[in-house]
Chain A
Amino acid sequence: MLVDVFETAYLLRYWFAVLSVVVVWLMTKKSVLSLRDDFSYRVRPIPGCSLIGEADFVLPLYHTTCLGSSTACDIRIKNKDIAGRHALIYRYDGDWFVKPVRKRWPVFLNSVQIVLATPLESGDIIDFGGYRVVFNLDNLYPDEVDYNNSDNDSLKSYGEAFSLHTLPYNKNNYSSVIIWLFVNLFALSGVWLVYRFIPKPMSELRLLLPGFMLAVLFIVDIYYLLLPLILRGLDRFLFIVLTQLMMLGLFVQIRLSGITGSGVLQAADNVISTDNAISAEAAIKLAEYSRLIMGGLKSQGLSLMIGLVLMPFAIIIIARTRILEPIAVLCAAVTPALLIATLILGHGSEEYGATLWISVGGMSLQLTEFAKVTYIIVLASFFKTRPSLRVQFLFAGWAAVVFLLLMLLPDLGSVMILLPVTVVVYVVMTSEYLITLGILMSGTAVSLFAYNVFPHVQRRLAGWTTLWQEVSDSNRQIVYGLQAVARGGLLGRGLGNGSPGGIPLVSSDMVFTIVCEELGMIGALALIAMFVIIWLRAARVTVTAADGFTSSLALAAGTMFFCEAVVVMAGATGLIPLTGVTLPFISEGGSSLLAKLILMSILIGLSARRTGTEKL
Chain B
Amino acid sequence: MKKLIFNLKIMLLVFFALSLLLTGGLILQQHRSKTRLAVAAGENLISLRQRYSQAGSIYDINGDILAHSENGIRLYHENDLTAQAVLHTVGDYTQRIDNTIETRYQPVLLGNSRNILHQLWLDVKGKGLGGDDITLTLDSDLTTQAYKLLGSRRGSIVLLNYKTGEIIVSASAPSVNPQNVIEYVDIPDTSLFNRSLRGSYAPGSVFKLVTAYAWLNSEKYDPRFHVVCAGESTIHPDYANENGDGHGAVDFTSAFAKSCNVFFGEVGVLLGQEELLAAASELGIGTGYQVDLLNGAVSSIQCEDSDYLLSWLSVGQPTDSSILSMSPIEMARLAGGIANSGVVMESHIIDHLTDPEGRKYQKLKISEDRRIMSIETASKIEELMIEAVKTGTGSSAAVDGLVVAGKTGTVQVEGQDNNALFCGYIVSDEYPYAITVVIEEGISGGGQAAPAAAEILSWAVDRE
**Chain A residues with a Cβ under 8 A of chain B:** 2-3, 6-7, 10-11, 14, 35, 39, 43, 62-66, 72-74, 266, 269-270, 273, 424, 427-429, 431, 468, 471, 476, 479-480, 482-490, 494, 497, 499-503, 516, 521, 524-525, 528-529, 532, 535, 539, 542-543, 551, 555, 562, 566, 569-570, 573-575
Contacts and interface: CB of A to CB of B under 8 A. Distances in A.
B12 interface: yes
Contact of B33 (A428, A483, A494, A528): A483
Given A535-B15, A543-B8, A573 B29 contact: yes
Nearest to B128: A10
B112 A570 contact: no
A481 to B, nearest CB: 9
A527 to B, nearest CB: 10
B111 to A, nearest CB: 10
Interface in B261-303: none
B47 A484 contact: yes
A140 B461 CA distance: 109
B38 A7 contact: no
B351 to A, nearest CB: 27
A62 B112 CA distance: 59
A566 B14 CA distance: 13
Interface residues of B, number: 50
A356 B59 CA distance: 54
A573 B15 contact: no
Nearest to B36: A468
Q: Which 4 A-B pairs have the closest CB atoms?
A: A502-B46, A499-B50, A501-B46, A486-B33
A428 B126 contact: no
A471 B40 contact: yes
Contact of A269 (B26, B34, B71): B71
Interface string B25-38: 11101101110111
Interface stretch (B16-24, B163-171, B422-430): B16-24
Interface in B76-130: 112, 116, 120, 123, 126, 128-129
B362 interface: no
Contacts of B185: none
Contact of A483 (B1, B19, B37): B37
Contacts of B126: 7, 11
A427 B7 contact: yes
A186 to B, nearest CB: 19
Contacts of B6: 72, 431
A198 to B, nearest CB: 16
Give the most central of B7, B22, B116: most A CB within 10 Å.
Answer: B22
A503 B47 contact: yes
A427 B1 CA distance: 13
B44 interface: yes
B27 A521 contact: yes
B1 A63 contact: yes
B23 A525 contact: yes
10 contacts: A43-B1, A64-B1, A72-B6, A270-B71, A429-B7, A431-B7, A486-B30, A529-B19, A551-B4, A573-B26
B133 to A, nearest CB: 16
A149 B348 CA distance: 91
A471 B116 contact: no
B37 A479 contact: yes
B132 to A, nearest CB: 16
B31 to A, nearest CB: 8
Given A471-B41, A483-B43, A574 B4 contact: no
B116 A570 contact: no
Contact of B51 (A64, A428, A479, A487): A487
Contacts of B33: 482-483, 485-486
A10 B123 CA distance: 8
A72 B2 contact: yes
Nearest to B19: A532
A191 to B, nearest CB: 22
A358 B37 CA distance: 38
Nearest to B39: A483
B253 to A, nearest CB: 57
Contacts of B18: 566
Contacts of B41: 471
Which secondary structure characterizes the binding site on chain B?
helix
Given A63-B1, A66-B3, A471-B42, A575 B22 contact: yes
A270 B73 CA distance: 10
A266 B72 contact: yes
B29 A482 contact: yes
B182 interface: no
Contacts of A525: 23, 26
A433 to B, nearest CB: 9
Contact of B7 (A11, A273, A428, A503): A428
A575 B50 contact: no
Contact of A479 (B5, B7, B42): B42
Contact of A486 (B16, B22, B34): B34
A529 B26 CA distance: 13
Given A11-B128, A476-B42, A528 B3 contact: no
Given A2-B72, A6-B54, A479-B42, 20 more contacts: A3-B129, A10-B128, A10-B129, A14-B120, A72-B2, A273-B71, A428-B4, A480-B47, A482-B29, A483-B37, A483-B43, A485-B26, A486-B34, A497-B129, A499-B46, A499-B49, A521-B26, A535-B15, A542-B4, A575-B22
A589 B50 CA distance: 26
A542 B8 CA distance: 9
A179 B29 CA distance: 31
A496 to B, nearest CB: 11
B366 interface: no
B402 interface: no
Nearest to A8: B126
Contacts of A562: 15
Contacts of B9: 39
Nearest to B110: A487
Interface string B42-67: 11111111110010000000000000
B2 A528 contact: no
Contacts of B116: 490
Given A500-B47, A528-B22, A570-B22, A14 B42 contact: no
B11 interface: yes
Interface in B402-447: none
Contacts of A573: 25-26, 29
A14 B22 contact: no
Contact of A499 (B7, B38, B47, B123): B47
A485 B30 contact: yes
A3 B72 CA distance: 9
Contacts of A269: 71-72
Nearest to A471: B42
Contacts of A482: 29, 32-33, 37
Given A471-B42, A569-B26, A501 B49 contact: yes
B44 A480 contact: yes
A490 B11 CA distance: 30
Give the most central of B2, B16, B112: most A CB within 10 Å.
Answer: B2
Nearest to B73: A266
Contacts of A485: 26, 29-30, 33
A570 B24 CA distance: 11
Contacts of B25: 570, 573, 575
A577 to B, nearest CB: 14
Nearest to A552: B4
A552 to B, nearest CB: 9
A7 B8 contact: no
Contacts of A66: 1-3
Contacts of B49: 499, 501
B37 A486 contact: yes
A512 to B, nearest CB: 9
A274 B309 CA distance: 67
A10 B125 CA distance: 12
A358 B60 CA distance: 59
A524 B7 CA distance: 29
Contacts of B36: 468
